[in-house]
Amino acid sequence: MVGFGVVAQSFADIITEEAKKLERDYGLRPKIVGVVDSKGAAAAPEGLDVSKALQAKRSKGTLEQLGQGIYSEGRNALDVIREVECEVVVESTPTELSKGEPGLSHVRAAIREGRHVVCVNKGPLAVAMPALMELAHHNKVMFKFSGTVGGGTPVLDFAKKCLEGSKIKTISGILNGTSNYILSRMAAEGVAMKDALAEAQKLGYAEADPTYDVGGFDTACKLVITSNYVLGTQLSIKDVDTRGIADVSVADIERARAKDRVVKLIGKVDKDATVSPQEITTTHPLNVSGTFNAISFDTYPAGEITLVGKGAGGKETASAVLRDLIEIRRTFAR
């Protein structure tokens, strides 16, 4: 596990709590042999004591003093990815969108070492998704990233697997839980944007750099990932015309309300890829509140199909990591 923040810790909780069920239903007995966080790393070939790792992280904020095969200072994620024998690397370091680093180097190193990768970090995909897909194919490993779009809501595999045979003409959606939470709080209580953002940060929804949420870049990332995965485009974040919610005021929201409308941050791919605040009617299928995400696929011949679910949160997103891991396990068991 590279990155041990909100999502990774929730994932560690789930596999501990659900251990019996995972083994019984999926033959999955995950063993965590290495954990890297921003301060250091711990590794043990026989498997780390996950409860101790969580306790150390939560009480001391670090894995140091875990007392189990601790790497000396200076060892970084790349050393651990290369040297610790493992089948899958879960990459969940914070998203960085200019170069996708350090996640991009982690993912590349893992794939080149022949490890399968479950990536929750959007940065590597936003800047280099086609190249990473190609690298994984070439190295015959699985590269999964369900948790990058929709939190726990299975947006990517829903569109890819469940809409087979249909033509998807356009994709539009609310893909950032934080800005939807902010707009909802502004609309319901007249809360100021900065206060609503502080709440979202406290609840663990916002990015490490919250301008990614408010500036629309997180939505742009998710649009790129969805479009490339589902429509086979080769977009990167630079191709998306992006405007966030920073300029939306409570007065704008009130004006929309007078017309029976709401203001939402909508990402859309048709001929172009765009992100911008839009007014939609209150009965529109994308009118979801709080951290909910909603994504509509305009399909032929089935028409519009909308998927709704929680788009941010540790436990929610960790469920996507687990789904990916189960798929890797099933594919290789076959």
| Closest to ligand HSE by CB, 34 or 267 | 267
| Closest to ligand HSE by CB, 154 or 311 | 311
| Closest to ligand HSE by CB, 178 or 274 | 178
Which residue among 193, 213, 235, 266 contacts ligand HSE (CB under 6 A)?
213
Phi, psi of 138 (to 5 degrees): -60, -40
Q: How far is the CB of 321 from ligand HSE (least distance, A)?
A: 12
Does residue 222 carry a catalytic annotation? yes
In the region spanning residues 100 to 159, those forming contacts with ligand HSE, defined by CB under 6 A, are 151
In the region spanning residues 177 to 206, those forming contacts with ligand HSE, defined by CB under 6 A, are 177-178, 205-206
- Residue 196's nearest CA partner among 212, 217, 180 is 180
Task: Scan for tokens 């994984």, then name that residue.
Answer: 136
CB atoms within 10 A of CB 186: 22
Which one-letter DSSP state was computed for residue 71?
A: P
| Closest to ligand HSE by CB, 127 or 312 | 312
Q: How far is the CB of 165 from ligand HSE (least distance, A)?
A: 29
Please give the structure tokens belonging to residue 205: 């929804």
Beta-bridge mates of residue 299: 168, 303
As a whole number of angstroms, the distance between CA 124 and CA 108 comes to: 9
| Closest to ligand HSE by CB, 71 or 292 | 292
Torsion angle in degrees (nearest 10) through CA of 29, 48, 148, 289: 90
* Interface mask toward ligand HSE for 14-33; x: CB under 6 A: --------------------
Size of the site for ligand HSE (CB under 6 A): 11
Beta-bridge mates of residue 91: 2, 119
DSSP per residue, 74-101:
T--HHHHHHHS--SEEEE-PPP--SS-T
Q: How far is the CB of 282 from ligand HSE (least distance, A)?
A: 22
Which one-letter DSSP state was computed for residue 280?
A: E
As a whole number of angstroms, the distance between CA 174 and CA 264 comes to: 7
Q: Does 294 bind ligand HSE (CB under 6 A)?
A: no
Q: How far is the CB of 207 from ligand HSE (least distance, A)?
A: 4
Q: Catalytic residue among 122, 144, 222, 268, which? A: 222
Known catalytic residues are: 222
Q: Which residues bind ligand HSE (CB under 6 A)?
A: 151, 176-178, 205-207, 213, 218, 311-312
